[in-house]
Amino acid sequence: MADYYQQFLSSMSGAALHPASPDEYSASSSASGAPHTASGQAQGIYQTSGYFMGYPDQLLLNAPKTHKGRRKSATGLPPSIDNVKHRRTRSGCFMCRSRRVKCDETRPICERCRKGNRECVYPEPPAPKGVPGPSLRMREGMNLSQHTSPLSSTGDDEEDGDTGSKLESILDVEEGEDLPQKFLSHYPSRPVGATFGATQPSLGRRGSETPSQEGNKSSSPSASTATSNSFTTVTFQSSDLPIPSVGRLDLSHLPPQTQRHMAWFSDNMTHFHYCISHDGDNFFKNMLPAIAVSDEALLNALVGFSAYHTTLQDPEGKLEDFLQYYNKSVTLLLGSLKRKEKHTITTLLTILQLATVEEYLGDWVNLMGHQKAAFEIITTMFSPQTIVQTPVGRACYTWYSRFDNFIGLMGGFPTDLPREYFTAMVNFSQAQAIAHPEAIRWKLDERRASLNVITYDMSIVFARGSRGQLTTEEFNNEHQLLTERLEEWKNSWDPTLTDPNFAVTEFPYRQPPDPLDIVDPYALGILYEPPLFSTTIMTVEWYSIMLMHKTQSSNTRSEILFPELSRHAYATCQYFEALEFWPSTPKGVLVTVQACISLAALFLPREERHQMWLRRKLAVAETQGYIYPLSLRSKMAAHFGDPSCVRWWLPDDRGFSRVLQTIRKFADERNAAAMTAQQESLREVRHLFAKLELRTREAH
């Protein structure tokens, strides 16, 4: 993989092991609840905490200085780490390393940690020669051969013989040396597949495909680049992967704590926790954990995600309970990339899992970093034709394409994945639905895939419009065509998917009417029981997409547009509360639909009853672990006219637990680093809010 992602991960390793306490949260927050900043940088506990700050030390925002006379990389990407002018190795405690200060290595507590009253943790000492350490024992139990921990590897930059506790190098960088803009706009600067020409994954068979460019006239620049070059692809078969056919997954070879987290994942996590509306192959529940036990980096990423949720539910939970696994996953992935190991399907899944945690922490910029790397791998491993052929391939497409569309729509720039991948999934699902007319899952797959194609085209039109690449007339014509396609999608459901026999018509859990409520959560025609539950989720997603789409209209009069937007907003709220109150709602569903509420909030009356209802729902979403970034909270606080919403949605910190305060503080500080123009556009969601604010002024 290109050096950019290795540098990206290098800046992420070494997560701080001293999370902020709720008291520190209050002490370092302004009156409005926002953390103090200086020069665009967070000035709190995590200001220089490596990975979990994202870009705090300008490792990626500024290129490393090279010696005089040394040529720049031919690719335009950051020069090799071997060319860095200043280089030093940290081999002290994790805290000093994460704070980028010299550690005197006094044990058990170094001088800096003692003076700062910080937790001082050193890497585990290497096992004696001939005695396998716990990491090696676990790998041997899983028959692993390719994911050796980088902490036990040797390199040219070693400064001592303690290879077992050696930490990654930290680069000195100087201000004023920006990376090329293409680094942040479209990472691959060479033909897709060139990086992977000699990296055949260990699973599956090798082949070659060159997808057609027909029907992709509106694709993004990166998409056209990807489809104009031949790339190596691999077809994965289910038999290639360690997936048990029956029975519960065997975890007996794993450490006890890892077993507990994996068991909790299997019992509690669903595809809805990944914001995936439908998972016909049951990939996230069954297949992903089975694959993870054969790969240490993916296993730690999955365990970290599980630990994040259990930490959130534990009143005594500590942030490091989750960070230790996530940081280890990053370190293992980085080590694999540095050793130029072959990229396997587990490499892609690990990156996607890490990106999922970034989304939960509200770090859309770091999410984009992982998304770009996943794009490079997925378009190398799969062609549009091969990616749909196996459950793993379909899951990789679904998982990645959601990030791709999310980043494109929120940031106002084109989607990376070529359109052929989206249409291939539609065509495959339609063919399967015809071949298996009794199988509901394929009909649902087709509904989801068709909506994905529309959102892909939306991202292209919005990006071209915001960049002035379309005239006003051209944009209006494209916008109208998208409106018609969205309406047609809503009105063309197969009757099987709205079978009234599966509709929820009885509400024994009904509560007396609440004068503070704004919708009826017990209305008929909203909730569907399995196997049609995904019908409910895709419908509420449609309402949210329509809201986003309609706000970008430039030729609809406000007196016509706003009543329609209001109807969509109320419908979205009704679906959310119906799902919140229904006892049979699967776990994770409120995370899937939380984004719908934050958008609907902008089109409801600005009066106390509506605003407090919305604030209660936003609080519910964050208690599920989905942290809203500071930039979004600030805009919502301005919309509500209450600065206290920046700190928390409800008065007197109702529902704002100590562990949630710690996580929120942590997320705020790591998201406060300086941004490039494109990254800031994503973080601030400027192109959306610009239109929303304009429409709101017109309405009043």
> Which residues is 208 bridged to in the sheet?
232
Distances (CA, A) of 397 to 290, 381, 383, 391: 19, 11, 11, 10
In this predicted structure, the answer to whether residue 77 has a pLDDT above a threshold of 60 is no
Helix boundaries (H) for 275-344: 288-292, 296-313, 320-338
pLDDT confidence band for 361 (50 / 70 / 90): very high
Q: What is the pLDDT of residues 163-215, one digit of tens each?
A: 333 333 333 333 323 322 322 232 232 222 222 223 333 333 223 333 333 33
Mean pLDDT of 54-70: 32
Angle at 361 between CA 357 and CA 362, to 5 degrees: 115
Mean pLDDT of 157-161: 35
Report the mean per-residue pLDDT for the chain.
Answer: 73
Position 189 scores a pLDDT of 29
Cβ atoms within 10 A of the Cβ of 647, count? 21
Chain centroid to CA 368: how far? 8
Mean pLDDT of 651-680: 78
In this predicted structure, the answer to whether residue 502 has a pLDDT above a threshold of 60 is yes
In this predicted structure, the answer to whether residue 91 has a pLDDT above a threshold of 80 is no
Q: How far apart are CA 67 and CA 1, in angstroms?
A: 25
Q: How far apart are CA 343 and CA 200, in angstroms?
A: 7
3-state secondary structure of 586: coil
In this predicted structure, which of 651-655, 660-664, 666-670 has the lowest mean pLDDT? 666-670
Cis peptide before 108 (omega within 30 of 0): yes
Q: Contact 384/420 with Cβ under 8 angstroms? A: yes
In this predicted structure, which of 18-22, 287-291, 394-398, 646-650 has the lowest mean pLDDT? 18-22
pLDDT confidence band for 2 (50 / 70 / 90): low
Question: For the chain, what are the domain ranges?
Answer: 252-404
Chain centroid to CA 417: how far? 16
Position 619 scores a pLDDT of 96
Give this prediction's pTM.
0.70
Q: What is the pLDDT of residues 519-551, one digit of tens each?
A: 999 999 999 999 999 999 999 999 999 998 998
Burial 155-187 (b: 16+ CB within 10 A, else e): eeeeeeeeeebbbbebbebeeeeebeeebbebb
DSSP secondary structure letter of residue 527? -
In this predicted structure, the answer to whether residue 219 has a pLDDT above a threshold of 60 is no
DSSP secondary structure letter of residue 648? -
In this predicted structure, which of 116-125, 182-191, 300-309, 667-676 has the lowest mean pLDDT? 182-191
Position 673 scores a pLDDT of 58
Higher pLDDT, 669 or 419: 419
Task: Kindly provide the residue ranges of all beta strands, DSSP E only, lying in 356-407, ordered along the sequence.
Answer: none
pLDDT confidence band for 467 (50 / 70 / 90): confident
The pairing of beta strand 37-38 with beta strand 41-42: antiparallel
Angle at 495 between CA 491 and CA 497, to 5 degrees: 95
Most confident of 46-50, 167-171, 239-243, 392-396: 392-396
pLDDT confidence band for 89 (50 / 70 / 90): very low
- Name the strand (E) or helix (H) holding 597: helix 589-600
Position 667 scores a pLDDT of 87
Position 184 scores a pLDDT of 27
